[in-house]
Amino acid sequence: MAKIIAGLTTSHIPAIGNAIAGGLEQDEYWKRFFDGYEPVKKWLDEVKPDLAIVVYNDHGLNFFLNQVPTFAMGCADQYQNADEGWGIPVLKPFQGDAAFSWHVAEKLINQGVDMCTCQEMKVDHGFTVPMQLFWRHHGDYPLKTLPFAVNTVQHPLPSARRCYEVGQALRTAVESYPEDMKVVIIGTGGLSHQLQGERSGLIDVEYDIECINSVIENPEWLCNQSNSEIMEKAGTEGIEVIMWMVMRGALPENVNVLHKHYHAPISNTGAGVLLLTPQED
């Protein structure tokens, strides 16, 4: 059977892609940020997952404002990257697993999560930067992927609680797949940031730490907040933290914290890295 063996979190800011392309990882500005990933990379290289579900938001590459699904997933054997205008080099296509995706889609829809299924899907920095952060040291990415897009761009957005419930359904869907597969799920984006308007540049370190602690041991704390309450604290783009709740919902109530790292500011955001594994329930 397939099993979700870990949940990860990471920022996905495009500047990271440019820092990698420019070989700046050990520069003073970037070093502490990138060092926060090393224990997770080591762990992933030891356990060798077969597939990563990457929960991210599309920022206008695949879905523009004229058509924005609330939850969409890739059902293809390959996903192309393309130029978004951030100056990041375009990456080679990522491998998918259409058979696995269709199984997950069917099981989600049977549980009342009415997914948008995409047989073609371009992946943007929300997906590619996390993949680079965890696996760029391999020549070719050593695992398959399932892009799972959540609308965090055009209101109304799904709530933190709805994202958590979708994660719970995702776990049931994945773990009913008959093939033996080690799956990791990555919640991307966040933490606090606002990229436009009067509060542009906002970061709230205290709130970020509370979010990290909530994701680890008390998801109800975030689930009980409305999107307006989250944006009031975390900024309009800080709402991306709802994608961490999809990841958290896909893990059991109790988790082991194998790694926890926070760094702010990086570009315009507070950045959190987590590696959580299920405590057997």
Where in the sequence numbering do the catalytic residues fall? 125, 193
- Is residue 84 involved in binding ligand DHB (CB under 6 A)? no
Query: Which residue's CB is nearer to ligand DHB, number 17 or number 49?
Result: 17
Query: What x-and-dash track marks residues 159-198 binding ligand DHB by CB under 6 A?
Result: ------------------------------x---x-x---
Query: Which residue's CB is nearer to ligand DHB, number 75 or number 266?
Result: 266
List, in order, residues 6 or more apart from 197 with CB less than 8 Å away: 236
177, 100 Cβ separation under 8 angstroms: yes
- Is residue 15 involved in binding ligand DHB (CB under 6 A)? yes
Strand 269-278 versus strand 94-95 pairing type = unpaired
The two three-digit tokens of residue 133, written as one number: 């952060």
- Is residue 204 involved in binding ligand DHB (CB under 6 A)? no
- Is residue 152 involved in binding ligand DHB (CB under 6 A)? no
The two three-digit tokens of residue 255, written as one number: 């988790």
Identify which range of 11-19, 64-72, 170-178, 241-249 contacts ligand DHB by CB under 6 A.
11-19
* C-alpha span between 253 and 248 (Å, rounded): 9
Query: Which residue's CB is nearer to ligand DHB, number 15 or number 72?
Result: 15
Query: Which residue's CB is nearer to ligand DHB, number 190 or number 249?
Result: 190
- Is residue 128 involved in binding ligand DHB (CB under 6 A)? no
- Is residue 214 involved in binding ligand DHB (CB under 6 A)? no
- Is residue 88 involved in binding ligand DHB (CB under 6 A)? no
Question: For residue 144, which phi and psi values (nearest 5 degrees)?
Answer: -85, 170
234, 244 Cβ separation under 8 angstroms: no
Query: Which residue's CB is nearer to ligand DHB, number 108 or number 191?
Result: 191
Taking the CA atoms of residue 43, residue 23, residue 208 and residue 247 in that order, the dihedral angle to the nearest 10 degrees is -40
Query: What x-and-dash track marks residues 43-82 binding ligand DHB by CB under 6 A?
Result: ----------------x-----------------------
At residue 134's C-alpha, the angle toward residues 130 and 135, to 5°, is: 110
Provide DSSP, 216-238: HH-HHHHHTS-HHHHHHHH-TGG
Q: Of 91, 124, 95, nearest to 14 (Cα)?
A: 124
* C-alpha span between 199 and 184 (Å, rounded): 35
* C-alpha span between 230 and 139 (Å, rounded): 39
Write down the least CB distance from residue 182 to ligand DHB, Å.
Answer: 28
* Of residues 216-255, those binding ligand DHB (CB under 6 A): 237, 240
123, 147 Cβ separation under 8 angstroms: yes
- Is residue 14 involved in binding ligand DHB (CB under 6 A)? yes
Write down the least CB distance from residue 259 to ligand DHB, Å.
Answer: 21
* Interacting residues toward ligand DHB by CB under 6 A: 12-15, 59, 189, 193, 195, 237, 240, 267-269
